[in-house]
Structure 1
């Protein structure tokens, strides 16, 4: 089993690498040219900066049972279709049982933003977000 990190905009890259290293799992971090990242443990894969290049790289190279860390629900859906396990940056497990709901919510939120002409303001990431990710990710690795 390998761990794939969609590094474009991912706030838990280093946390994921540290946890995976402690447990002895290989990590592949996929990023575009705009993201500067180095690590002595993880394999860093740089792809074109084009839209969804990292997502397609991950889906085309992952195996059954691999874990994908992403906040991109489109990538999550594709990874699930390849029998992968998916977790987001806040520790939410994305499964075949909840992906349709998540995608519907994403679509409805986008429509609401377009109608109001406003964009969503994201709250600043907190230590609690990191702790939730760490707990869920460690539990996922222990399954």
Structure 2
């Protein structure tokens, strides 16, 4: 299982968890971002810098993800694309996006986007918490374990 990270908005603590997981498992980890990011000097970890611009990292990931890969993103449209390609998508807060929930999440995201465009203050997401970090780490471990059991 190759892990792809939509890294521009990914919290540093989540990247650290991913670096440790890549070191522990030897699995491929690729961070994709508009800006240069430092990554550990591990042969299976790499950083791809895409041109600046709207959704450039998302486009790169969508073009390269394979069935069975894992994408770390909080971007619902990218998650929908990933799920449609039979890959896994996981938010930095530990929410697993799948065929059973992605349509509802995409509809909610589009509704909230419409509200914001009409001037309604919808607030923002709650701050990233220790519980979010733990939820992500637990879900990642389960996904990596399941992948290892399948031999991938």
Q: TM above 0.5, one fold? A: yes
Which residue of structure 2 lines up, in the alignment, with residue 136 of structure 1? Answer: 139
Structure 1 segments, 4+ long, off by >6 Å, are none
- Measured in 2, the distance between the counterparts of 1:123 and 1:79 equals 25
- Of residues 21, 29, 47, the one that matches 2:31 is 29
- Measured in 2, the distance between the counterparts of 1:123 and 1:62 equals 29
The answer to whether the 8 A contact 1:4-1:27 is kept is yes
Please give the TM-score of this superposition, normalised by the length of structure 2: 0.86
Question: What per-residue deviation string (whole Å, max 9, x for no partner) do you get for residues 42-86 of structure 1?
Answer: 211110111111111111112111110100111111111221111
Give structure 1 stretches of 5+ with no counterpart: none
Aligned residue pairs total: 142
- Measured in 2, the distance between the counterparts of 1:32 and 1:116 equals 29
The answer to whether the 8 A contact 1:113-1:120 is kept is no
C-alpha RMSD over aligned residues: 1.5
Which residue of structure 1 lines up, in the alignment, with residue 149 of structure 2? Answer: none
Please give the TM-score of this superposition, normalised by the length of structure 1: 0.91
Which residue of structure 2 lines up, in the alignment, with residue 50 of structure 1? Answer: 53
Give structure 2 stretches of 5+ with no counterpart: 147-152
The answer to whether the 8 A contact 2:93-2:128 is kept is no
SS of equivalent residue, structure 2 residue 8: coil
Which residue of structure 2 lines up, in the alignment, with residue 6 of structure 1? Answer: 6
Which residue of structure 2 lines up, in the alignment, with residue 123 of structure 1? Answer: 126
